[in-house]
C-alpha cells in the first residue's frame, strides 16, 4: 500500500536517477517488517558486479543532499540487479575490520605494483592499446589483482579498503588512493588549465 508521500518519493527518485540510469526500476513502499520506515528498491542490471557500497555511493551522488536529509534519512535501501532479492545482498564488512587492515592491504598492493599498473593502463603506457577509460566499476583493478595473484577471496576486503579511502571506481583508485600517480597529476594539470581565467 502506498500513501501520497511514498508515491511522491518514488516519482522524485525516478527523476533523480533517470539520466544516469534510464532503465532503473525504482520502488518506494512501507517496509513490511516495520511500517514506520520506508523501504526503497533500486533495481538495475548495471549494478551487476558492483559491491553494495559502490551501488549506494553511485545512487547517493544523484540525490540532492537536502532532499535526502528531509525525506530519506530513516529509509532502508536495497540496490539490486533484476534477479537479486534483498536477502541476497551482502552486508558491508565491519568498518573497524576494514580500518584495521588498511595499512597492510595498501602495502600488499604497493608491493604488487598494483597502482603503477593501473596508472599505466589509464595513461595508455601499456600494451600499446591507448588509454583505457573508467566504466564506473572496478573491472581494470580486478584484472590487475588477478594477474598479481591476489586471491579472489580477498578482493572484497581489498576493495572495501579502497572504498574507505574514497575510491568507488577504477579512476578514483588513482585519483584518491594511489601513493603516486601520473594520471592524477595530469588530471589536475588539465583541471587547472581549464580553470585559468
Ligand atoms: Zn571512475
The answer on pLDDT for 2 being more than 70 is: no
pTM for this model (two decimals)? 0.87
The Cα diameter of the chain in Å comes to: 57
Distance from the alpha carbon of residue 58 to the mean position of ligand 1, in angstroms: 11
Distance 137 CA to ligand 1 centre (A): 7
Q: For 116-138, what is each residue's pLDDT tens digit?
A: 999 999 998 776 778 999 999 99
Name which of 69, 160, 145 is nearest 108 in CA terms: 145
Residue 189 burial class via C-beta count within 10 angstroms: exposed 0-12, middle 13-18, buried 19 and up: exposed
Contact 161, 169 (CB under 8 A): no
Distance 14 CA to ligand 1 centre (A): 23
Give the phi and the psi of residue 87 in degrees, each rounded to 5.
Answer: -70, -20
Q: Which domains does the chain have, with CATH numbers?
A: 4-88 (3.30.300.90), 95-195 (no CATH)
Residue 197, pLDDT above cutoff 70: no
Q: In the structure grid, which three cell numbers stand for residue 12, read together?
A: 522524485
pLDDT above 70 covers a percentage of the chain that reads 98
Q: Give the distance (Å) from ligand 1 centre to CA of residue 128.
A: 21
Task: Determine the distance from the C-alpha atom of residue 114 to the mean position of all C-alpha atoms in its chain, rounded to a whole number.
Answer: 19
Please provide the distance, in angstroms rounded to a whole number, between the alpha carbons at the two ends of the chain. Answer: 55
Amino acid at each position: 500500500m502506498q500513501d501520497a508521500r511514498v508515491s511522491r518519493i518514488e516519482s522524485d527518485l525516478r527523476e533523480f536517477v533517470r539520466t544516469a540510469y534510464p532503465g532503473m526500476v525504482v520502488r518506494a513502499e512501507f517496509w513490511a517488517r516495520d511500517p514506520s520506515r520506508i523501504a526503497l528498491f533500486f533495481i538495475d542490471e548495471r549494478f551487476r558486479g558492483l559491491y553494495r557500497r559502490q551501488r549506494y555511493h553511485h545512487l547517493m551522488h544523484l540525490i540532492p543532499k537536502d532532499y535526502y536529509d528531509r525525506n530519506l534519512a530513516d529509509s532502508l535501501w536495497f540496490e539490486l540487479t533484476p534477479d537479486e532479492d534483498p536477502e541476497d545482498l551482502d552486508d558491508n564488512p565491519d568498518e573497524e575490520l576494514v580500518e584495521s587492515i588498511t595499512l597492510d592491504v595498501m602495502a600488499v598492493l604497493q608491493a604488487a605494483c598494483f597502482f603503477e599498473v593501473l596508472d599505466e593502463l589509464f595513461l595508455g603506457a601499456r600494451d600499446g592499446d591507448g588509454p583505457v577509460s573508467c566504466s564506473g566499476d572496478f573491472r581494470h583493478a580486478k584484472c590487475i589483482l588477478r594477474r598479481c595473484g591476489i586471491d579472489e577471496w580477498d578482493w572484497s576486503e581489498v576493495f572495501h579498503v579502497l572504498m574507505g579511502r574514497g575510491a568507488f571506481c577504477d579512476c578514483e583508485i588513482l585519483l584518491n588512493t594511489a601513493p603516486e600517480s601520473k594520471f592524477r597529476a595530469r588530471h589536475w594539470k588539465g583541471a587547472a588549465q581549464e580553470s585559468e581565467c
